[in-house]
Amino acid sequence: MSPDKYEPLTIETLADRLGSVEAICKIVGDDTSKWKINEVGDGNLNLVYTVSSNSGNIIVKQALPYVRLVGDSWPLPLSRSFYEHEVLVRQAKRDPGSVPEIYYFNKEQAIIAMEMLLPHVILRKKLIAGDKIDGLAQRLGEFCARTAFRGSDLSLQTADKKSDTAMFQGNLALMAITESLVFTDPYFQAEMNHHTDGLDPVVKILRSDVKMKSEAQRMLMKFTANTETLCHGDLHSGSVMCTDNETKVIDPEFGYYGPMGFDIGMLISNYLMAYFSQPGHRSSETLLEYQNWILEVIIETCAAFQNEFKKLWNSERTGILFPRSMFEDQGDSSEFALNNMLEHIWQDAVAICGIEMHRRVLSLAHNADFEEIDDAKKRSQLEARNLMMGRDLILNNKSIKNASELTDLAKKFNSENYL
């Protein structure tokens, strides 16, 4: 592969530049004249190409030296592609089958060539369309538990965990995006913010809630200074692809060492936004039933997380934390410690969940769930419910006991009108 100097791929140059890569030809053949190449990137950051031929299909993802959504006025280092690759390798090991297979990685060109997920569709699109996915909750609950547990000092050798933690501190540009867009910008008039007309009264409630803002910043301190495990870092419904019965996780370029509750908290948040936005996408005949399905997914995701985490706690606790020498080997149960740990994870998840519900409505990068509702008045009413529940979650993360209390709260907020 030449040239050495970074250059963005184009539809015209892709075949020339990747046609000699053996691992790629193994999938799509070495006759590049048969390659059908399309640019399909709809994310905020990168170039994404599909390469298809009679023999197979691949995805070619290339980082740009800036934020695609904003343009070259917002530079962003190519190294995020390196970190994405590093995370994918670890996720594949910690939860086999959960992420696309990697065929080829080029650090200088910031290119990852990987398995094309076909006929998978972005989960967010399915949630907007009202599709159900078999096994969704189980798959993602297990993914969050396995990556959280197996990337932590509960499981890893501490020397390995520390050198990995050190390496991922380098992904700071991506962390900086989360630090400002997620945890800070929603709570003041940041330059890149925008929100739906009519939301001002609710925005005012949030921005004048000192207790809630303090709690959001306490969670930022956890984001930036709790290196419990390697997180996906951006596990929203646009980072998940599904068929009717298969679910895969993609796009971990925001990977960082953070709280064990981060990924599952962000995931639940995106389910809740799907839930609150449903009245903008379907009529009352199917509305309630589909909304309830989403809440069921939340409950089952949390149950799958807890069950898997417990299983790993009892079977794979080989790190420095809570060693068997201090518990089981002395005839003591470690269940009390396990339950404390799950409670700690849950509280972090609930607070993160609330913060994510705010930033997707108030900060730069909004969700299609709400954005695709054309009627601004309706949209603002649904967003208001979502914002007010987010506030409740941030304020009360220590008293909301479990997923079923959380989904009950969602039903309550779903019946309120704030505007």
Interface residue list for a second copy (CB under 8 A): 152-153, 158-159, 162-163, 165-167, 169-170, 172, 175-176, 179-180, 184, 187-188, 190, 207-208, 210-211, 213-214, 217-218, 220-221, 224-228, 257, 320-323, 325-327, 329-330, 332-334, 336-337, 340-341, 344
Distance between CA atoms of residues 69 and 94, nearest Å: 32
Residue whose token pair is 């960082």 = 256
Helix, coil or strand: residue 330 = helix
Q: What are phi and psi of 121, to 5 degrees?
A: -125, 150
Task: Give the whole-angstrom CA distance, residue 33 versus residue 44.
Answer: 30
User: What residues contact residue 216 under an 8 Å CB cut-off, 6+ apart?
Assistant: 183, 186, 187, 351, 355, 358, 394
Question: What DSSP character marks residue 180?
Answer: I
Angle at which helices 210-225 and 335-362 cross, to 10°: 110
Mention every residue, 6+ apart, whose C-beta is less than 8 A from residue 121. Answer: 241, 242, 243
Q: CA 326 to CA 35: how far, in whole Å?
A: 59
Q: How far is the CB of 93 from a second copy (least distance, A)?
A: 20
DSSP state of 279: G
Alpha-helical (H) ranges within 237-261 are: none
Shortest separation between residue 324's beta carbon and a second copy, angstroms = 9
Beta carbons of 353 and 393 less than 8 angstroms apart: yes
Structure tokens at 126: 């399915």
Question: Which residue carries 């904003």 as its tokens?
Answer: 70
Residue 356 vs 369, nearer CB to a second copy: 356
List of residues 6+ apart from 88 with CB closer than 8 A: 99, 100, 102, 112, 114, 252
